[in-house]
Structure 1
């Protein structure tokens, strides 16, 4: 049974964004080939694999997937300030809690050291000199094996209305001559894999960032397939 999380105030949001494009340095644990990807390529991989890859954030030795709690105005601030690119996935507080996630603590250096001493640095962000990260309003999902399987998401965020993810193999077969479903090469030499958009894309709402209105335009699941 869902727990009652109470009301969300006007300064809070139930929309939690995992951005695939962020401005600035990345932790050394992020593989080079992922660092070289564009925001679109990272999102494409997440959708195809239905999986988030978790890596240790700065100052923490435990892999986490990071999200930002953003109201519509705060999302506009993050995008306009060039701190993030409008590409990623959107979850909810309840969905992150179910996956073992939660909010991080923003604490001074001395308190941060206490978290670190007990192996909990991944649940805290220090706010001392040269470490001003409070605009992130961060939530994290820790995951020892570095992988978070996505059963579903609230929405997919894209920064270009014409963008579509790469087609994936559905595990089904079609006859290349007439497009009808078949049982595979054993039935006909004209059999070929049936390709389609990833399940997450077909099942989820798609939010398109509109730079003119500085807001997202929301599309119901399946309408951009």
Structure 2
């Protein structure tokens, strides 16, 4: 599947940031709201799963979490990624995918519309496909995409890249299913002896994906090939 030409102001890249400055929806679980951006990214890499929630403004006022759950992404060329981060709305932590992957699963770009048109989207139960463009809703620079999904968690097969704010940061290590004898160092078929130790490693997504590191001083991004920061 192809979405056709991509102009210089567009990008094949879509960014799911794990930190966004502003209010947190009260219908998102407290442990997620209270977690830091790197902590949220760590969970995604460790569990290889996204969790979808209803976005702001998708339902009439007071409807709470009754809107359609979505995964949300921002589109911009790699050369403009520093602009998205420098605006102060997003923290440089998250994962990168592509428009084609999101579109193939039923996602797409949202409409940026005036309040009265946005209300029509909401009344038609399509509020998750629109964002208001008013003084108190200034998000045009983000060029948002949304992927509607059932409530709950959803598997992450692969990602284009992982964004971090520190080249020294590493995700939590996870079990590999391989076991060794802690005394002899010999491999075991499982925890069959009292000295058995499960080997651990960085999560698969970290090992297999490119890593893009934000340099706050230089205000740019350095790209590392898969495995370079393992």
Point out where structure 1 has 5 or more consecutive residues left out of the alignment: none
1:114 matched to which residue of 2? 120
1:49 matched to which residue of 2? 47
Q: Which moved more, 1:69-78 or 1:110-119?
A: 69-78
The change in CA–CA distance for 1:85 and 1:183 in structure 2 (over 3 A counts) is: same
> SS of the counterpart of 2:205?
helix
Q: Does 1:192 align with 2:197?
A: yes
RMSD: 1.4
1:131 matched to which residue of 2? 137
2:23 matched to which residue of 1? 25
The change in CA–CA distance for 1:62 and 1:207 in structure 2 (over 3 A counts) is: same
Deviation at 1:152, TM superposition (A): 0.1
1:79 matched to which residue of 2? 85
1:223 matched to which residue of 2? 228
> SS of the counterpart of 2:92?
strand
Deviation at 1:223, TM superposition (A): 1.3
TM-score by length of 1: 0.93
Asked if the contact 1:72/1:215 (under 8 Å) is kept, the reply is: no
Q: Which moved more, 1:49-58 or 1:157-166?
A: 49-58
Q: Distance in 1 between matches of 2:22 and 2:168?
A: 27
1:35 matched to which residue of 2? 33
Deviation at 1:65, TM superposition (A): 1.1
Asked if the contact 2:2/2:100 (under 8 Å) is kept, the reply is: no
> SS of the counterpart of 1:114?
helix
> SS of the counterpart of 2:207?
helix
Point out where structure 2 has 5 or more consecutive residues left out of the alignment: 59-66
Corresponding pairs, count: 222
Q: Which moved more, 1:170-179 or 1:159-168?
A: 170-179
1:13 matched to which residue of 2? 11
Asked if the contact 1:64/1:146 (under 8 Å) is kept, the reply is: no
Q: Deviations over 1:35-63 (max 9, x none)?
A: 11111100000001101111111112111
TM-score by length of 2: 0.91
2:61 matched to which residue of 1? none
Asked if the contact 2:179/2:198 (under 8 Å) is kept, the reply is: yes
Q: Deviations over 1:145-183 (max 9, x none)?
A: 232211000000000000000011122212222444311
Q: Distance in 2 between matches of 1:180 and 1:202?
A: 25
Q: Distance in 2 between matches of 1:165 and 1:210?
A: 18
Q: Distance in 2 between matches of 1:178 and 1:87?
A: 40
